[in-house]
Structure 1
């Protein structure tokens, strides 16, 4: 028997989730977690004030919730999705597998028993883990559902945030819509953990205004791809989401799928992956603005290549075409609804068009932020890049403080704005990629939680000082010793 066979045959059998959960409970108990609550209890307007309200129950919101709980800070998550469908994984995402390496620990917050690998091996064993290439998308969603359950997170599903309103009295009001109707929740701090499009939505080029709504979709839209069977489909873009939309359409029986890509070649190297290190995770925040911009702009400009597996998923279909170096110059809608595209390479007829064109920061698309949007300090207010390094995504990004907090464009214009913390992808310009992607989400969650703990302690220091003064639990009872006479015995 060779070494590979010996290793496989001697691999331990799956222990089961029950055993893994028992180990996790023991780990938490040994570390006395979650932490004991220590914050002041507040009421305003006759109702209790939550310490931290988190908007969004995906992986970022859950990681933030656990990190806060471990520091003894009570929190509640509000998510607009039905239970177990938070985030994009089981709704709008179309990739077969995650793009991140399977070994990344994600939102596990330093607990081995809370990692995807532990969850996977407990059910399927080490041999199955060794054989796994990338994590299947829906299996990642199953893991996040388990994460929520074992960490006993307080997530209020089907709660849509209608307005976020900071007040001068140190409180942020959240107006919510739920199945029970409209309500208002008061919180000392609010964490915005709303994902990649968290401060805006899909980017759509002006071309879309010329098209009937039933003839196009953004790659992030909910869509029944089976409706594309037998149709000629175009996909604008050459990134990961373009490959996912194209492959899904092909698998659902599209007659032809054309990928319309302006670049003459696809990027080959993921520069963002090459930039990842503990140095960047911990150091980006402390860099001068010029270096923050230079690094993020370089990664943006180089673009992220689509994963090899996603690209091959498209290539295996003979009716898929990669039309590189193709730019759309005009579009006409014919009487029968056919889309006639005029390109630099000639005319092209399609029945349906996907825009896999990414996302943008656009406050006008997020009505819930209308009260704070005009007051938020953006990078464009603080930094002018050198010629040739202009970058709209970075310019529109919020210029955040050290605890991911929004800052006022005009000091004094909206007191309390700094009580709202941006823990979603647009924080990358200020903090690096620690709030939107899997690799460093735990680092970002701890930075957020530790910063909020420090702020809450500082603003309540008089309360905590009184607690120190009134603390009277004795260490000594007074009978532990006998006072000795001054004179030594003869």
Structure 2
């Protein structure tokens, strides 16, 4: 057994050593740098430099990226501490879908990677044997990242209103256990995940059905209630497989996957798009090329992971019903009757795994800004064959992920709100939520905000330059030479 592998005996000692290494790396890199943003108050109220809404992996990466630029960020999350994001709440996969080698929110620091965290506790042999990262272990890792990077997260804080002001500040209304309150910030970063600008996509056939008989795959549903029941899952993506497997493992009598397509997609085209050129060049592509690439990935669809699919198919009481779109659903007694081209089926419970939509009306905190945000349907009209409603509804974002005004001047300060969640994908590529490029996205966001701050405060910085008086020379470093009189003449 290698020396590193023996850390499985004393895991805390291994992690402590890693944390010392991380602290040394930060010291060697001079991180974080000194604070440089001029402090500001308004009517006696301190103005925060940046507020990040959401303390999941995107929010943590954003806060760390900002800290590396010498910018202080306060991170707000409505969840209780340690349960931010979906990993320990609504996610139901056994492992992450991403390869274990992806570095996620490590922000260029080897000692901050999941691999370093894992090997410090369990050793290199365990890493070599690991296939994919267990979901709950990823959550443990994110909790560690938050702690060692000293991210200022304030849990139990729900943002109820985002209101940009003409003076360039943004007022946030909050609801906490202590009551209603508000904050002022120069910049706000929305890092609220896959459904960050809306919510679940709900098919028309669930409208009017008793809510006790169906759920969306992202709901905080108690799957123990499905024990002994006949369950249908609509869809065949990753979350559909996770929901089906969870229902089966909890003891559902049977599970049918109702799959619209005649076959499952086999190739993850999104995975094939990940190259450094896309990471750094997507935002600068012509609109038509941005649209063509993202529409192609959406249209070909991402297949569920092999492991997730096998987790379902190994159960004898599951059916994959291909070419079986739902044509209608009606309540019948305590159950449901589902109509499809392949016949009618009776179920006790229905799970719709139909993704998410941008829907500002579902997020009241955006009421002030939603009418003024420019979206892609107002910027670009693709050929009819390439129509994609998700892309059409996506916000047009500036180079630092900032929202843009639909009508210039209609909402002063709107560009001080940044969209660092999934709907940024058409404008920037997959930099604002997915594990592979989250650090690249956070760096772009942070350097962009640093640039904004410097330009906005340029007169103050120039005055600071003029007032700078730290002597480099004290006057005793040399003796003036005396020239002979003849030489002077």
Q: TM-score per shorter chain, which class?
A: over 0.9
Whether 2:335 is the aligned partner of 1:338: answer: yes
- Looking at structure 2, the residues matched to 21 and 302 of structure 1 have their Cα atoms a distance apart, in angstroms, of 43
In structure 2, the partner of 1:3 is none
In structure 2, the partner of 1:293 is 291
Cα shift readout 1:103-131 (whole Å, capped 9, x = no counterpart): 00000001000000000000000000000
Answer whether contact 2:4 2:120 (CA < 8 A) is retained.
no
Answer whether contact 1:13 1:126 (CA < 8 A) is retained.
no
In structure 2, the partner of 1:123 is 121
- Structure 2's unaligned 5+ residue stretches are 8-12
Number of residue pairs the alignment of both structures matches: 482
- Looking at structure 2, the residues matched to 147 and 9 of structure 1 have their Cα atoms a distance apart, in angstroms, of 26
Listed as ranges, the matches of 1:216-231 within 5 Å are: 216-231=214-229
- Looking at structure 2, the residues matched to 242 and 356 of structure 1 have their Cα atoms a distance apart, in angstroms, of 5
In structure 1, the partner of 2:10 is none
Aligned-pair CA distance for 1:46: 1.6
Whether 2:426 is the aligned partner of 1:429: answer: yes
In structure 2, the partner of 1:379 is 376
In structure 1, the partner of 2:397 is 400
Which one of the candidate residues 261, 274, 277 is aligned to 1:276?
274
In structure 2, the partner of 1:204 is 202
Listed as ranges, the matches of 1:228-247 within 5 Å are: 228-247=226-245
Which one of the candidate residues 324, 327, 350 is aligned to 2:325?
327
Answer whether contact 2:104 2:439 (CA < 8 A) is retained.
yes
Whether 2:362 is the aligned partner of 1:369: answer: no
- Looking at structure 2, the residues matched to 458 and 70 of structure 1 have their Cα atoms a distance apart, in angstroms, of 19
Aligned-pair CA distance for 1:70: 1.1
Listed as ranges, the matches of 1:411-450 within 5 Å are: 411-450=408-447
Q: Which moved more, 1:395-404 or 1:322-331?
A: 322-331
Structure 1 residues 487 and 296: CA distance shift in structure 2, 3 A: farther
Aligned-pair CA distance for 1:171: 0.4
- Looking at structure 2, the residues matched to 400 and 67 of structure 1 have their Cα atoms a distance apart, in angstroms, of 19
Answer whether contact 1:342 1:348 (CA < 8 A) is retained.
yes
Aligned-pair CA distance for 1:338: 1.5
* Superposition misfits of 4+ residues, deviation over 4 angstroms: 8-12
Which one of the candidate residues 52, 55, 71 is aligned to 1:54?
52
Aligned-pair CA distance for 1:302: 0.3
In structure 2, the partner of 1:13 is 6
Structure 1 residues 10 and 164: CA distance shift in structure 2, 3 A: closer
Answer whether contact 2:206 2:329 (CA < 8 A) is retained.
no
- Structure 1's unaligned 5+ residue stretches are 1-7
Cα shift readout 1:23-43 (whole Å, capped 9, x = no counterpart): 001111111211110011111
In structure 2, the partner of 1:248 is 246
Whether 2:56 is the aligned partner of 1:63: answer: no
Answer whether contact 2:270 2:297 (CA < 8 A) is retained.
yes
Aligned-pair CA distance for 1:12: 4.5
Which one of the candidate residues 337, 340, 354 is aligned to 1:357?
354
In structure 1, the partner of 2:165 is 167
- Looking at structure 1, the residues matched to 27 and 274 of structure 2 have their Cα atoms a distance apart, in angstroms, of 33
In structure 2, the partner of 1:181 is 179
Aligned-pair CA distance for 1:224: 1.1
Cα shift readout 1:138-174 (whole Å, capped 9, x = no counterpart): 0000000000000011000000000000000010000
TM-score, normalization by structure 1: 0.97
SS in 1 for 2:327: strand
RMSD of Structure 2 on Structure 1 (CA): 1.2
Aligned-pair CA distance for 1:488: 8.9
Which one of the candidate residues 65, 77, 94 is aligned to 2:92?
94
- Looking at structure 2, the residues matched to 423 and 487 of structure 1 have their Cα atoms a distance apart, in angstroms, of 71
